[in-house]
């Protein structure tokens, strides 16, 4: 008991459990932030998270990268890839006559790249399919 009273281990133990002060926030350079956005966008693209979920999809991440660096060739090509994948989805929807999926893919592709060369074709096909369905519904009444 005398040794414990003299040594007082509780005084040393307090230092073991002391809380450290939180570190000051680290400033991230625009180059590092751009690279993080491009990496996250590439991962989202690889996982086919093209326009969903909000805030973590490839299209939004590539657009955020472009906001940091409007000249980013990687971000531009990434948006092109998103549009290409969306139009491939439109093609699959067209083959299966899945109108809601076709409309969704065409609208998303239009949002990604309104000047995409294949967009006009799918927009026209969507319009024709809607007209065909409307005519079929009229005859069915």
Tell me: the pLDDT tens digits for 57-75? 999 999 999 999 999 999 9
Nearest C-alpha neighbor of 68 from the set 107, 41, 99: 41
Mean pLDDT score of the chain, rounded to an integer? 88
**Tens-place pLDDT, residues 12-34:** 665 555 555 665 565 678 889 99
Check pLDDT > 60 for residue 7: yes
Angstrom CA distances, 20 to 9, 14, 15, 27, 95, stand at: 21, 12, 10, 20, 61
The predicted pLDDT at position 28 comes to 72
Q: Which two tokens stand for residue 2?
A: 């005398």
- The two tokens of residue 66 are 């472009």
């Amino acid at each position: 008991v005398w040794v414990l009273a003299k040594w007082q281990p509780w005084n040393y133990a307090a230092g073991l459990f002391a809380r450290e002060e939180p570190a000051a926030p680290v400033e991230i350079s625009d180059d590092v932030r751009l690279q993080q956005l491009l990496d996250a966008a590439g991962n989202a693209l690889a996982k086919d998270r093209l326009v969903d979920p909000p805030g973590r999809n490839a299209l939004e991440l590539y657009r955020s990268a472009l906001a940091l660096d409007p000249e980013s060739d990687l971000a531009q090509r990434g948006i092109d890839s998103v549009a290409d994948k969306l139009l491939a989805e439109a093609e699959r929807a067209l083959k299966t006559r899945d109108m809601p999926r076709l409309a969704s893919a065409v609208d998303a592709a239009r949002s990604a790249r309104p000047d995409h060369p294949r967009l006009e074709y799918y927009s026209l096909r969507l319009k024709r399919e809607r007209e065909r369905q409307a005519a079929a519904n009229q005859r069915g009444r």
